[in-house]
Amino acid sequence: MPPPASKRAESVVPFLAMEVMERAFALERAGARVIHLEIGEPEAAPPAAAQAAAARSLRDEPARYTDSRGLVELREAIAAERATRSGVTLDPERVLVTAGTSPAILLAFTYLLDPGDEVVLGTPHYACYPNLIRAVGGVPVLVPTEARDGYRLDPERVRARLTPRTRAILVASPANPTGAVQARADLEALHGLGLPLVSDEIYDGLVYDGARVTSPLELGDDAFVLDGFSKRYAMTGFRLGHLIAPASAARTLRSLAQNLFISVASFVQRAGIAALSEGAATVAELRRTYAARRGVLMRGLQELGFEVPVTPRGAFYVFADARRFDLDSRRLASDLLERAHVAVTPGVDFGEAGEGWLRFSCTASDADLAEALERLRNALH
């Protein structure tokens, strides 16, 4: 008889955006043409310099292990780019390169949490946050955020949920799925609660309408910052991210990385160095493109009868209220995929606070967005 799964393993529920995508792949293998609005997958190409650097590394360098923290040249480049973006002078010894941002989150929570310890976070939230907290034995504590105030993570609401077991406060700015950018004053108040902030900044750089992202790195040296190349540089398949941690955590995090991951592929790290040095034009073009597509998608969805109460100020999603069509977001997303061949993410993936909503990605091409809206029109009406 096969052994049963552990309670911790069973606490990790499916990632519905991936489930939708995998069903869409099955439909495509059967001959359907699916338009993908369900995942944060830029349709643009990565910077040409990054692709060339990866190819050059594979051709000219032995593909060997690197320092578990990442190539020193990459860590220095990340520190330099951070100084440009946030005005923070950063010791490269505080940077740990990871295979995407999810391992960085896992390392941070493994460092911070013992079984039963709590992490406070706002909801609606990125689907994987609670799962990654539970995976290391922690307990996610959700604080509702409201569309009417731009999905602000209210420091007083957070304060009310703190207990002696609280070990960290998780913030995401810009946030997935809402596109919310947290105000500096609120981050200062959250930092003032005396707990480390774990800050997901994977969408920083993709902001609109004059928004500016404040990093907790600007407020003190006790933050854990998660970042990477997937979104800003359209490098999802490279699986390259990093964790910036307090200096006091560096030795333990290094040991964790050595044991859990050994190191990130060397040719991928070379691509990251090239992206940081020569990818600014790619980031600027993505930001311009997504700002335009955000408006097209919002107007199109509103014309179809969806409510979009908040204009996202960052990231590349539109989070839309779909309750006039179906209160069950998973059922509605499945129906739209099967009948219209348009893949979207059910809002319940982002917590119960998102039930009845759908998340649409702005990353598809202009032509695909137009066709997707027409297909949705036919399916819904």
Per-residue pLDDT of the chain (381 residues; tens, 9 = 90+): 878 888 888 888 889 999 999 999 999 999 999 999 999 888 899 999 999 999 999 999 888 999 999 999 999 999 999 999 888 999 999 999 999 999 999 999 999 999 999 999 999 999 999 999 999 999 999 999 999 999 999 999 999 999 999 999 999 999 999 999 999 999 999 999 999 999 999 999 999 999 999 999 999 999 999 999 999 999 999 999 999 999 999 999 999 999 999 999 999 999 999 999 999 999 999 999 999 999 999 999 999 999 999 999 999 999 999 999 999 999 999 999 999 999 999 999 999 999 999 999 999 999 999 999 999 999 998
Question: Residue 107: left if φ>0, alpha if ψ -120 to 50, beta else—which one?
Answer: alpha
The CATH architecture to which 7-45+281-380 belongs is Alpha-Beta Complex (3.90)
Helix, strand, coil percentages, rounded to 5, for the chain: 45, 15, 40
CATH, domain 49-278, list 3.40.50.720, 3.40.640.10, 3.40.50.2000, 3.30.460.80: 3.40.640.10
> In the chain, which residues fall in CATH 3.40.640.10?
49-278
**Residue-by-residue DSSP string for 70-94:** --HHHHHHHHHHHHHHH-----GGG
Q: Give the pairing type, strands 166-172 and 197-200.
A: parallel
> In the chain, which residues fall in CATH 3.90.1150.10?
7-45+281-380
